[in-house]
Amino acid sequence: MTNLHEALRDDVRMLGSSLGETIKAHLGDELFDKIEVVRQLAKEGRTEENAEHEELLKALRELGEDEVLPVARAFTQFLNLANIAEEHHRVRRYLEVTDVCTPDSLCTLFAQLRQKGFTPKQIADSLCDTQIDLVLTAHPTEVNRRTLIQKYDDIADCLRRLDRGDEEAQVRLDELIRQIWHTDEIRKQRPTPVDEAKWGFAVIENSLWTAVPKFLRRLDAQLNETLGERLPLDSSPIRFASWMGGDRDGNPNVTAKVTEEVLLLSRWMAADLYLKDVDALRAELSMHQASKELIERVGDCAEPYRKLLGDVRNHLQGTKNWVARQLKGDVDGDYDVYVHEEELLEPLMLCYRSLQECGMGIIAENALEDIIRRIACFGLTLVKLDIRQSSDRHAQVFEELSQFYGLGSYSGWTEEGRQSFLLKELQSKRPLFPNEWVPSDEVQEVLDTCQVVATADKSALGSYVISMASHPSDVLAVILLLREMGISHNMRVAPLFETLNDLENARDCIDALLSVDWYKAYTQGHQEVMIGYSDSSKDAGQLAAAWGQFKAQEGLTQLCKDHGVHLTLFHGRGGTVGRGGGPSHTAILAQPPGSVDHSLRLTEQGEMIRFKYGMPDLAIRNLELCTGAVLEATLSPAPGPEQAWREQMEAMAKRGLTEYRAIVRENSMFVPYFRAATPEQELAKLPLGSRPAKRRQDGGVESLRAIPWIFAWTQIRLMLPAWLGSDKALQEALNESSQSLVKEMYQKWPFFRSTIDMLEMVLAKSDRNISAYYDEQLVSEELGVLGSSLRQRLGDIVGLINKIKEQDGLLDASPVIRQSIDVRNPYIDPLHFLQAELLHRDRNQPNERLEQALMVTMAGISAGMRNTG
């Protein structure tokens, strides 16, 4: 392990040295020396006790206006390069133990399940029945430009080559760092929803396309070695879905046309990737010996496999050509296209059987098996596209329609009245929409979207998610609109419960829905419900939200069991703790018992997609962890909480909620302080994603999206959304006679342990001194009183966490994470000090160059913290 840490340190030094040479060559010795002075002073400031950073601040203040941007860029790019080295290091550590059964590997889990009395067949069958959807969401948390991400990927490849002794890789690496330095970090324009979807496809092409078959092979091998069972070729416990181009909630840029284009692009991309695979396979399968079944198909010829694969190739090319014509609006023409994945799978399986029958199994089990296993995961569309829209947009359709028909106001009807109308229309044989009706533009857009969804192939679609859904009529309205547009299958419709109030009412809402006989028949025994983490945390504070989510899942699990319906929970988690983030496998194992029953959907977004799946070996590792966690939570879940734990948690959640809202909602100084101390307003200038930063441009904190809310607090290192309210709740619990009970909950209850551990991780990234400097530069004396009190509370909760975990300092038990944060801090500090100064200048005398430097500091701090929102 020591050698591995030395290798990481050597990589960071080598990348930093190359960046230094690049900067020196471009900016000259004088500015390079200033950057070095800043770096050295920042390091010294972190090593000295209670350092005031005076020397560092003096050096930064002496920078000329033309020098601020290159200095900010230097530290930002160093942090990006350090991230690459760390990701490469994680791959190294993983590869060192890849052939060994480590405590968290699947082979260890299989052995543990055997000891608990499960038969090999039960474990293998459970794995085959598992359906995990990893849902790639539109990523307004990915700061880096796609062109730079590609260069970062190339640098990671150079590091791999250097590990293998390829000295030429150093030349390429130096060239890439120069390319990066001479490329703008910040996009000039926001990405379009189609750009976002293409970014998602690029992650699949560059990493997951390689990773998935390797992951499935490893799964098959570990099943075989540990249990003597196999993973069928057409089985994949993990599939991918996407919100990119389908999530239109609050994003007017995602139109029906965009959704149609993204659906077509995913078909084109899949056909293109399979075509490359089949071309490579044809080059290899030159053998003449074939089974009777294959010869009967292709006739007696010298190269039967190539002949059959030639037909496959023609169909894939035909599919690409057809999609290309559709994208141009040309719907005419006759093409040989693949419509169903079985059509592509069937000839490949015929080749596979023939090779096995003719004693060439080793040939069948390489490139050919990889393509077959990719089909099991990616189908013909790479991802299944989810649609998301707010319930009020669907209600608006029926509001206008009811007014047109002279039936009064749909929104004014009782819930029973709305349900009665919708159910009657669902069973009516006449059309719902009269020819002479002219809907508003907003309603027409909803109808156009439903039309696109209805005409899409079933295999291309995931779920229709309804945000702000609180009544059965919200779900029935969507089904009626899809039916009216001619959809041929019962699309899953998933209500999304987001606020604390929604979560508390979720059980009753789904109970009312499943009590409607027509709807229960529609579900065909499967109900999906989405739990929103981001907005519930912003609404109620982290502790109350986490407990509300846990109780909602418990209630829904029991309810669906009582109704005889299988429940799939869809977890809308972000990358940060304030948005439900943290290690996915830990969070899965912390769910209520019975709530993970072979199926789970989980959002993956923003920079987390790249961190977890951007390199094939890291992707394999994360896919294994996720699969193992779902299997364990299904077959051997942790017991539920004891009554005393439940009562204690209820009391802490109530106190946490009261304390959180007392500041965020009721303290009149809070919103002005938030606006003054953080770069929340300036964040709107950073072209992160296609969505507006606010749902309403005139609203306050409640209208702010969860991502910029978290982003703003992360930038100043106060990390407030992750801990506010929890501090007073934990303080009260630890001051009372319940101290031993809280410690017992941490030791024995996975949910509470996971909550505390994730809170600890985010607190380790906080910094009261940095936050105080922002206040000093930007906040009035009156508002500064609130900032000072919040920093005092931040210090208190750090002590409380250490008390619960019985440790001296944060992350004592996680030295690798602690070291990662400590190594980054000296490089982030100058960016914080520069940002506070730039915010002050930008608010008083704004100019374009200042804004550019300010945006670079935001990107750099995000890179250093490994989080945006």
- Quote the crossing angle between the two packed helices 616-635 and 106-115, to the nearest 10°: 10
| Residue 113 to residue 123: CA distance in whole angstroms | 8
Rg (the chain; Cα; Å):
28
Q: DSSP states of 675-710 as a string?
A: HHHSSHHHHTTS---SS-SBSSTT--GGGB-HHHHH
CA dihedral 808, 809, 815, 816 (to 10 degrees): 170
| Residue 763 to residue 804: CA distance in whole angstroms | 14
| Residue 519 to residue 508: CA distance in whole angstroms | 15
Q: DSSP states of 704-768 as a string?
A: B-HHHHHHHHHHTT--HHHHTTHHHHHHHHHHSTTHHHHHHHHHH-HHHHHHHHHHHHHHTT--H
| Residue 23 to residue 31: CA distance in whole angstroms | 9
Q: Which residue has the tokens 């789904």?
A: 510
Question: Contact, 865 vs 853, CB < 8 A?
Answer: no
Q: Which residue has the tokens 């913290």?
A: 865
Say which residues have a Cβ less than 8 Å from residue 730's Cβ, sequence separation at least 6. 652, 742, 797, 800, 801, 804
| Residue 399 to residue 93: CA distance in whole angstroms | 59
DSSP letter (8 states) at residue 247: B
CA angle 596, 581, 680 (to 5 degrees): 145
Q: H or E segment at 563? A: helix 542-563
Query: Which structure tokens are listed for 659?
Result: 């304390």
* Helix, coil or strand: residue 780: coil
Q: Which residue has the tokens 């059959």?
A: 308
| Catalytic residue (choose from 538, 728, 805, 832) | 538
* Cα distances (Å, whole numbers) of residue 352 to 271, 302, 371: 20, 18, 11
| Catalytic residue (choose from 139, 471, 805, 832) | 139
Amino acid, single-letter form, for residue 613: Y
CA torsion through residues 20, 23, 26, 29, sign: negative
* Cα distances (Å, whole numbers) of residue 678 to 536, 813, 858: 22, 32, 11
CB atoms within 10 A of CB 485: 18
Closest Cα to residue 441, out of 490, 487, 400, 484? 400
Question: Contact, 567 vs 595, CB < 8 A?
Answer: yes
Closest Cα to residue 161, out of 147, 176, 149? 176
Query: Which structure tokens are listed for 800?
Result: 């409380």
**Residue 139 annotated to the active site:** yes
Strand pairing report for 526-532 and 492-497: parallel
Backbone angles phi, psi at 725, to 5 degrees: 95, -45
Q: Which residue has the tokens 């094939």?
A: 616
CB atoms within 10 A of CB 716: 27
* Helix, coil or strand: residue 466: strand
- Quote the crossing angle between the two packed helices 256-284 and 304-327, to the nearest 10°: 160
Question: Contact, 339 vs 228, CB < 8 A?
Answer: no
Say which residues have a Cβ less than 8 Å from residue 813's Cβ, sequence separation at least 6. 805, 807
CA torsion through residues 620, 532, 146, 683, sign: negative
* Cα distances (Å, whole numbers) of residue 808 to 125, 179, 739, 812, 815: 46, 45, 17, 7, 13
* Helix, coil or strand: residue 135: strand
**Residue 53 annotated to the active site:** no
Catalytic residues: 139, 538
